Amino acid sequence: MNPAPSIVFFTTASGAGYGLLFWLGLLRPLGLVPGQGLVALALALVLITAGLLSSTLHLGNPQRAWRAVSQWRSSWLSREGVAAILTYIPALLLGLALWVDAPTLALAAGLLAAAGAIATVYCTGMIYASLKPIRQWHHPLVVPGYLALSAFSGAVLLAMLAAFAGGGAVPALLATLTGAAALLLKRAYWQAIDAAPPIATIESATTLGFIGKVRQLDPPHTEQNYLLREMGFRIARKHAAKLRLIAQGAGFALPVLLALLAVLIGGTPAALALTLGAVLAIGGLLIERWLMFAEATHTVMLYYRG
């Protein structure tokens, strides 16, 4: 599948934003995050909004994007839109509560914002997981992967901000745990999709299997078309193994170690370590998300490539 930059950026940025919002909404009312938390909330909302705006760049008619919230009964994309918009309400209320220092409202709004964040990322994951023709996406580990990566990147960002505010071992520990969990989950996912057989064959796609093996004789057209560009993307799939290693090392393992180091040393060095960790984690996620598209195969290519 074609890794459209707007979508790769959207799922990475919004995922990290919702992760940050989730942890902030949960931990700030419990007093586990130092400082007011408004900077973290602002960063979360900037990431979420930038991501959502970026996703509209991918549309053929962005001015009609508002129509996308209407079909929540059947469409995960529509549900994602609804969840994303609804989550702004408790998120902004949380901001108000932190601003005027209203603990009860902060707790209620924080929990609601956290729930909204989970719901939105869950819907994002389901958009992909519900697509049967793409076996790498129609997989039970896809939604847990989106949730874990969102929780991980959000925790790293919160740990970084907390360290700058002087403290916050809890977010750093959470970053370590969620990072390790995300790494294990992603490894399990990659093993699973590498081992899984294709869901359909050129024989079942053409009904001609009863004659024997089927191979393409002539293509239907000699030039490109939308299907080949969108579903036939395979550039750099040959680098997939290396990119997976880079994503695991730089994107997961190093940030986890840096977060652990930050818990142990504390102070300004911890803040710097976590800043580096956050940059690495986001970079690793961009690679992981790019691979998520580049490695995905669509059944329509059976007709073109067998």
Partner 1 sequence: MTCLPEITPGQTKLGLVIDLDTCVGCQACATNCKEWNASGHSGPLPDTKPYSAGAEGVWFNRVHSYEAGEGERGRTVNFPRSCLHCETPDCVTVCPTGASYKRIEDGIVLVDHDLCIGCGLCAWACPYGAREMDEDEGVMKKCTLCIDRIYNTNIPEAQRQPACVLTCPTSARHFGDLGDPESKVSKLVAERGGQPLMPELGYKPVNSYLPPRNRSSVAAKPEEAAPTPMDIKNPLLRWMDKVLTR
Binding residues for partner 1 (CB under 8 A): 1, 58-62, 64-65, 67-71, 73-78, 81, 127, 130-134, 199-200, 202, 204-221, 223-227, 230-231, 298-300, 303-304
Give whichever of 160 and 296 is closer to partner 1, judged by the CB atom: 296
Give whichever of 62 and 249 is closer to partner 1, judged by the CB atom: 62
Report yes or no: 153 and 282 within 8 Å, Cβ to Cβ. Answer: yes
- Smallest distance from partner 1 to CB 77, Å: 4
- Smallest distance from partner 1 to CB 250, Å: 29
For residue 93 the two structure tokens come to: 């209320």
Give whichever of 67 and 242 is closer to partner 1, judged by the CB atom: 67
Give whichever of 225 and 268 is closer to partner 1, judged by the CB atom: 225
Report yes or no: 280 and 254 within 8 Å, Cβ to Cβ. Answer: yes
Give whichever of 123 and 163 is closer to partner 1, judged by the CB atom: 123
3-state secondary structure 109-123: HHHHHHHHHHHHHHH
Gap between the Cα atoms of 237 and 233, Å rounded: 9
- Smallest distance from partner 1 to CB 19, Å: 24
- Smallest distance from partner 1 to CB 198, Å: 10
CB atoms within 10 A of CB 238: 8
- Smallest distance from partner 1 to CB 143, Å: 16
Gap between the Cα atoms of 106 and 97, Å rounded: 5
Gap between the Cα atoms of 13 and 157, Å rounded: 11
